[in-house]
Chains A and B, each alone.
Chain A
């Protein structure tokens, strides 16, 4: 904002388009860099076992990133996503009691728990109109507290069928890879629904959406419920991966999912982007922690490094995104 600049062009329509393109380029480039670096540092990543176990560790973050992406595209934010994962996973563990026969019940319990949490978030944000940042920060505390009530210490047994599934492969493609692909395909189905279109419109411009007869409050609510359901699935993925329940599991997931969304080229202001980008973002972040591990960064530095990565990602997106007028 200086007098020296020429008369500023009207709301930089062109710039905004460009920023989107740059962002998706940047996401793709980062993904390539991360994959190459990770493989260079850890050649055994490329073995079938390496691929399977790496993707297994990706899966929870990938799911939570998609969940977060839906809320962010709808103009919100869900800081409780990690706590929802923790709560759904411990509920599922307690319900299944390690029995294969109860796996389906566990699935329903995990998703149901996620939906219930999402409904709470959605009600608070869309009806009480509280700031999503504060509202979900607070609800995260509630969900974490509930998780501790359900399973006070790490433990419990996950049915073998669940942990086993993660180790299987179909036509030599590891199950964990197939599951990540399935998540992406699931999104391609979901985005053709009316509710997702309305969520996107609400995030893009709530006033315009309202004037266009979009049920704005319902769409906001739906974004949190959908997100909760997917976070519930992530809870199950965590169990399959870890083999036991842990009420503290979700700690880094919320921040990680926000970072994945940003790295994946989804504007935090809402309306723009696709969860496919968030999946890429999640993989980039997961690989970068693999990289940090393999260059021998002490565990005590891990949290610090992760925070720096998130801030860098946010800074990059802020540079790319033109300021919105009005």
Chain B
């Protein structure tokens, strides 16, 4: 690799999403002719940083220097003009258009507003041909919707290649590919590197990073913490850099509960889930760890009957029909979603009504609601959870994130659930409220409920869980119990679990 002046330099990048500071003074420097890894645990901001450069996220502050020139990148179009292209796991293909139409979309050749299919086919041919070994026999006119997910991902990559970028961002772009498809993409990336381009490579597969990358930037909680030469760093050192020298989190777990199994799940499959088994006892707090998007949320939603899935689920030995949230609630299952705005609350309605709504049936007499009993029930939750409110009649939108989330908890506690599912329950909640929510969760378990919690923060799992199941591609691949649950072990389990299993999930998707 020849040493060149940096082609890309980002510095002082700040980005805040609502209450979450995704990037705090992040930076990145990559040279032309270099494959540069972008690493960090869940929620470290690596994807956001890439998207700032690709123009699809507008930063609150950032200095971007491309080939020595200070630039502003306000949109994907601006990025494209500067020679920056990006490929994400989330595809930007229009399924109703053909492969060729998608490849040239946004830069169609033609004259006077009329398109030339012949010119498009000519332009696309070399890229399609280059991808053929992995793509198979895919023609210009084939509809994108008929392709397997891996093929679609390759078309997406082809689209970026067609723009002949000098900076290419690959953000989990290999996640849905088979091993031989990945090999081809790596070959192409190496060719681009030879041609002097800078490639930013974001992947959760540590083996891919070590195989492909020359250097890597490591992010933690939105801050760039290290830049390292990949060949000179062992995988264990990389994991340590990602996790950092955190002080031991104060764990609140106790010895694993010895009670009977309350929640039993066998072979739960559908959508992102590929056969989940799970046993959880009363009084136990079970965490769902792993990289984000490996089916954690889907598992909780499926157990709650909110998305379609099939499998055997029992609560206290009684089978649960996974038909709807109503039937799940009847078996004592409650779900506290992370997205309060769309799933958890009726924003414009009074706090009292929000607290009471899930448990109406228990209080109503022959279908008639008693306002007095409703108010008493709501007040009892406000007191028990120390929710700071003005009046029960105020709309829930008047509350802070933490207090609104406590209302969602209270709503479900009133149904006296035996299984409580928590989907990232402290997202966008301040530190103080977090601690209180942990206390509530612990209290729930002490009363004998089974708690299953998904979190985007490993730290949260370490703090509250008695046991953590590490998910990968929709199945439980590892379990950490008691003192094994540390941030380092979680990251390690999440990153290294995929080694050697590449393509395991895509085989089924392609069918």
Contact = CB atoms under 8 A, between A and B. Distances in A.
A45 interface: no
Contact of B310 (A3, A13, A197): A3
Contact of B76 (A6, A10, A194, A211): A211
Nearest to B145: A13
Interface string A106-123: 000000000000000000
B507 to A, nearest CB: 13
Contacts of A213: 76-77, 80, 105-107
Q: Is the interface of B mostly helix, strand, loop or mixed?
A: loop
Nearest to B268: A7
Interface string B152-184: 000000010000000000000000000000000
Interface string B304-340: 0101111100000000011110000000000000000
B168 to A, nearest CB: 15
Nearest to A20: B96
B269 A7 contact: yes
A194 B96 contact: no
Contact of B115 (A17, A193, A211, A215): A193
Given A7-B269, A8-B271, A201 B115 contact: no
The size bracket of the interface on A is 20 to 34
B114 interface: yes
A300 interface: no
B397 to A, nearest CB: 22
B94 interface: yes
Interface string B98-121: 000110011110100111000000
A204 B108 contact: no
A260 to B, nearest CB: 20
A194 B94 contact: no
Nearest to B106: A213
Contacts of B321: 2-3
A205 interface: yes
A95 B321 CA distance: 69
A97 interface: no
Nearest to A271: B96
Given A3-B321, A207-B92, A212-B92, A197 B114 contact: no
Nearest to B79: A213
A17 B143 contact: yes
Interface of A: 1-8, 10, 13, 16-17, 192-195, 197, 200-201, 204-205, 207-215, 271-272
Interface of B: 56, 76-77, 80, 91-97, 101-102, 105-108, 110, 113-115, 143, 145-146, 149, 159, 269-271, 305, 307-311, 321-324, 509
20 contacts: A2-B308, A3-B309, A4-B310, A6-B310, A8-B271, A13-B146, A17-B143, A17-B146, A194-B113, A194-B115, A195-B113, A197-B97, A197-B108, A208-B93, A212-B76, A212-B92, A213-B105, A215-B77, A271-B94, A272-B96
